[in-house]
Structure 1
Amino acid sequence: MDVTVNAAMSADGKLSSRRREQIAISGDADFERMYRLRAAVDAVLVGVGTVLADNPSLRSHDEAHRAEVYGPDADPPARVVADSACRTPPDADILAGEPDTYVLTSGAAPEDRRAALREAGAELIVTDGDRVSLSTAFAELAARGIDRLMVEGGGELIFSLFEAGLVDSLSVYIGDLVIGGRDAPTLADGEGFVADFPELELDEVERLDEGVVLYWEVV
């Protein structure tokens, strides 16, 4: 599976403020870039923190581009949530309507929450242990025909993916504002690396709106 992380952050590397509220970091041109990226993958993944903070629907909004890439009968990209404890609300927008939604969860998730998500239409992929095994869950997604996956956050999930060696490329829009705050989420939160840092190779720089997009390949 090819895994791309795509994010927008402030000039000082923050995804949002310390209140973890959605902030407009980029503009219309970057949103169009994001929709085209969504249309070119098989599924889009976020962590449950993003679902709880932003309630995204994760639809591609670029049917024409997807038809251009994959043909007029191509299915829209699936939606995926990494949610070890099944905290996704059953009425979340990510579960509403089409396309399909997968919830990656753990064996420790309460059974009543699992049942509620299944009732809401989600397909659960359950891995052993207290936390989702991302490598195992990704293998299950690949078995369901998902070969290209885009990750849109948040910082805890992105760090976990880098830690597991599952990221192939990274694109980041850097906006024209400073957010600050030691408790504000960053591109890669979690425990952080102290050695064996993931190395990136710069592939492209694109000016967009009042910021830039950096495209890296993971070495």
Structure 2
Amino acid sequence: MPTPFTFINAAMSIDGKISTRQRRQVRISGDVDFERMDELRASSDAVMVGIGTVLADDPSLTVKSDERRAKRLAKGLDENPVRIVVDSKARIPTNADIFRKGAGKIIIAVSESAAFDRVESLRKKAMVIMAGGNQVDLPELLSILDEMGIHRLMVEGGAGLNWGLVKNGLVDEIYSFIGNLIIGGGTAPTLIDGEGFDEANMPTCSLISAEKMEGGVLLKWKLKNA
């Protein structure tokens, strides 16, 4: 099944953490990396996050630059890419920022285990895609997105969604900015959590580039099995 070109973009600490043990967002990178991230959003067909990221950070997932939004509109696109939340149980609050800020299509991906009334309330605010039984079937979801014309997909976490995508061989590239701070904490989320791979089936990557940026380093990787 064809799937979009999918890349993960994230900022993490020296020790690989993407937020604190309380799962509170920490500003790891600076303005230069913020602009890079905004350009990635503006050049993508869709931006995807997991429900954990929405509940912890309440992101709007919008393009912040007026100029970039204007360029999208000039091309006949919505000012923001399609915004997608993977939310197996339909837990997203109906007053989340993603519903209140920015124009453009919103997709909530749920599983068959989501409560009927929650799904129906979400249908009033977004397009709902049901894929999978107990949790969202990511290969099926990405295949549906590709059929919808979403061919470039930016993933902004969190650690659980990143794991599911990598585990299923759905990620083409990973862009990770490593900032100059240490967060620590055995329960603090890393770039990719989940149950982890066995030694025999660990995916490998090839380094595309390494760039010093704002006291940190931006690494771009290509997954060899992508």
Same structural fold, with TM-score higher than 0.5 when normalized by the shorter chain: yes
Partner of 1:103: 108
Number of aligned pairs? 218
CA distance in 1 between counterparts of 2:74 and 2:213 reads 28
Between the aligned residues of both structures, percent identity stands at 47
Partner of 2:38: 35
Which blocks of at least 5 consecutive residues in structure 2 are unaligned? none
1:58-106 C-alpha deviation (Å, 9 max, x unpaired): 0012353466589542223110001100011011011224121101110
Where does 1:1-219 land on structure 2 (aligned, <5 Å)? 1-62=4-65, 64-65=67-68, 71-75=74-78, 76-96=80-100, 97-119=102-124, 121-194=125-198, 195-219=200-224
TM-score when normalising by structure 2: 0.92
Alignment RMSD: 1.5
Letter in 2 for 1:114: V
Letter in 2 for 1:143: E
CA distance in 2 between counterparts of 1:58 and 1:197 reads 31
CA distance in 2 between counterparts of 1:84 and 1:171 reads 26
Letter in 2 for 1:210: G
CA distance in 2 between counterparts of 1:143 and 1:154 reads 25
TM-score when normalising by structure 1: 0.95
- Deviates further, 72-81 or 125-134: 72-81
* Displacement of 1:142: 1.3
* Displacement of 1:39: 0.7
Aligned structure 1 segments of 4 or more residues deviating by more than 2 angstroms: 62-76
